[in-house]
Amino acid sequence: MGISQARTIAFDVLRRVETQSAFADEALRAELGSNVRTEDAGLATELTLGVLRWQRLLDFLTDRNLTKAGKTLDVEVRIALRLGIYQLWFLERVPAHAAVHESVELVKRARKRSAAPLVNAVLRKAAAEVTRLAQSRAAIATLLPKNLLLEEKLGILDSHPTWLIERWLRILGEEPTGALLEANNRVPVVSCSVLDAHRRDDALTSLQKAGCVIEPGLLLRDAWTLHGGNPAASEAVQRGWVAIQDEASQAVAHLLAVEHGNSVLDLCAAPGGKTILLARAAGSQRRVIAADLHAHRVRAMAERFETAGVRNVEPIMLDGAEPLPFEHGFDRILVDAPCSGTGTFARHPEIRWRLRCEDLTDLHARQVRLLKNALANLAPHGRVIYSTCSLEPEENELVVNEALGGTQGAFRVVTPRSALERILREGVAVENLIRADGFFRTCPSAHGTDGFFAAAIERTAEEI
């Protein structure tokens, strides 16, 4: 019996994530071509993202059955063990013998044949343990050492770094932290935004042909929630009629409240989904600038705009953290800043293992520079939206506070209530998304979306 295509793909993607710092979703897209059956694509995705979400717990369950000397494993061996343990503990439909056998074969395929007996022995012990215990959080909790600190216990059971849990416990409290950890380990909702309103019906038909079941969005009137199928293979996605995009991310572009004839700058534009919405709102006679730091991302955006038939966008490469080269101010500027991504752990689980506490300090400094540059290039009475997909104060309100410090009242934070009211589904209250401080916030545990922050800032004076 050979190795299934799904497990081979998952193994190869996980190895790229581990050794090349690849992003799992991009690596999966590269592997899941038209020659991959739908069921194999689904299992490969579940295995890859499931292993990344539960990586710390999987390593704990693995290491229980290793000697101290055996815990230093080659990358390929560790990945094969994670795949096997994940299937044993989390996928009831996969027979134990298949999980064990194919993990052993994966090690052999990776030219680590000498480790095959170890993988076989560890997974057989794990299979016996699963049989003895119920497949539940409570059962796993009984295996933990006694007297663990809460952040260590949650770190293992909910598979997050201890430092992040310690931080969230301090900022959020125990119950909200527990809810957030649980949300981060759920399979996220697949949402899409309609980029071309004229092709709305065609997009619906195309997605249905791709096997998708389409339901209304969770928050937004014009968003769709997709279940099943392969939306990426649909004509609607490939031709840019719709974009796969979290609803909180969709909302951010609308908060900018672009009006026909506005001059618009998207300062951190890639991959360009928000830019398309901004360009269509500005009108075909108005040029929209889409900037990004990396040349390959600028090229990819240009191709995306061409495919979507958006002709009024000028993609340019620049570092938004350096003084900007524009002679005139913009009516609308979007700063969707590079950030830690702590609001996207369900969708991008590998980020939780790469992020370090000190990264927040470095990100904060760059984010402040980006926002200050945007404010300096804002026309009188114009609006900036500063946004992140982070839950951390250092990247959100503290950036806004620092960037506005010393501007002598030339700018003010405004509540984008009317812009939000125009896009929300009936029954969704603005107050559920905009707090008393005027900032827009979503949280995975509260809203079922990614965690986003956005601040609307307007210029009130001719000169700073």
Catalytic residue among 212, 339, 389, 443: 389
* Residue 51 domain flag: yes
pLDDT at 7 over 60: yes
pLDDT digits (tens, 9 = 90+) for 262-278: 999 999 999 999 999 99
Peptide bond into 271 cis (omega under 30): yes
Whether residue 218 lies inside any domain: the answer is yes
> Of 177, 98, 86, which is closest to residue 135 (Cα–Cα)?
86
| Residue 36 included in any domain | yes
Flag whether pLDDT at 462 surpasses 60: no
Q: Which pLDDT band, with edges at 50, 70 and 90, does 69 fall under? A: low
- Per-residue pLDDT of 342-382, as tens digits, reads 999 999 999 999 999 999 999 999 999 999 999 999 999 99
Pair (159, 275) in one structural domain = no
Helices within 1-136 (DSSP H only)? 5-20, 24-31, 38-53, 55-63, 75-90, 96-109, 116-132
Q: Is residue 302 part of a domain?
A: yes
For residues 63 and 340, give the distance between their C-alpha atoms in angstroms, rounded to a whole number. Answer: 29
pLDDT attached to residue 464:
43
Domain boundary among 210, 226, 244: 244
Query: Do 442 and 433 meet the contact criterion of CB atoms below 8 Å apart?
Result: yes
- Residue 338 to residue 359: CA distance in whole angstroms: 12
* Mean pLDDT within 115-134: 90
Give the whole-angstrom CA distance, residue 392 versus residue 453.
Answer: 9
CATH number of the domain enclosing 382: 3.40.50.150
> 92 falls in which pLDDT band (50, 70, 90)?
confident
* Contact (CB, 8 A) for 364 and 403: no
463 confidence band (pLDDT: 50, 70, 90): low
pLDDT at 1: 58
pLDDT category at 68 given cuts 50, 70, 90 is low
Rounded to whole angstroms, the Cα distance separating 372 from 410 reads 12
**What is the model's pLDDT at position 87?**
96
Question: What are 333-351's pLDDT values in tens digits?
Answer: 999 999 999 999 999 999 9
Residue 168 falls inside a structural domain:
yes
Q: What pLDDT was estimated at residue 197?
A: 84
Give Dmax (Cα) for the chain: 74
Is residue 92, in this structure, part of any structural domain at all?
yes
161 plus 297 within the same structural domain? no
The answer to whether the beta carbons of residues 445 and 179 sit under 8 Å apart is yes
Q: Average pLDDT, stretch 107-117?
A: 95
Regarding whether 70 and 93 lie in a shared domain, the answer is: yes
Q: What is the pLDDT of residues 413-433, one digit of tens each?
A: 999 999 999 999 999 999 999
For a pLDDT cut of 90, what percent of the chain falls above it? Answer: 82
* Residue 376: per-residue pLDDT: 96
Mark whether 257 and 395 lie in a shared domain: yes
Is 212 labeled as catalytic in the residue annotation?
A: no
Q: What is the mean pLDDT of residues 160-176?
A: 98
Residue 67 located in a structural domain: yes
| pLDDT at residue number 230 | 81
- Does position 2 have pLDDT exceeding 90, yes or no? no
In the predicted model, what is the mean pLDDT of residues 80-105?
94
**Stretch 136-160: mean pLDDT:** 93
Please report, for the domain that includes residue 62, its CATH number: 1.10.940.10
Residues 236 and 284 occupy one common structural domain: no
Do 329 and 259 fall within a single domain?
yes
Q: Which domain holds residue 240?
A: 190-244
Contacts for 463 with CB less than 8 Å, ≥ 6 apart: 410
DSSP string, 105-120: HHHHHTT-GGGHHHHH
Q: Are 444 and 451 in contact (CB under 8 A)?
A: yes
pLDDT for the residue 67: 76
Q: What is the pLDDT of residue 70?
A: 60
Tell whether 158 and 132 lie within a shared domain.
Answer: no
Question: What average pLDDT score do residues 282-309 get?
Answer: 93
Residues 257 and 374 in one domain: yes
Strands 213-216 and 223-227 come out as antiparallel
One domain for residues 133 and 27:
yes
Give tens-digit pLDDT for 432-456. 999 889 999 999 999 999 999 999 9
Strand, helix or coil for residue 207 = helix
CA distance 352 to 340: 9
34 vs 275: CA distance, rounded Å = 29
In a shared domain, residues 275 and 308: yes
Pair 133, 37 in one domain: yes
CATH of the domain at 209: 3.30.70.1170
Q: What is the 3-class SS of 149-176, one letter each residue?
A: CHHHHHHHHCCCCHHHHHHHHHHHCHHH
Number of domains in the chain: 4
Whether residue 432 is found in the same domain as residue 318: yes
pTM above 0.85, yes or no: yes
**Mean of per-residue pLDDT scores for the chain:** 93
Q: Over range 126-135, report the average pLDDT.
A: 83
Q: Is position 464 within any domain?
A: no
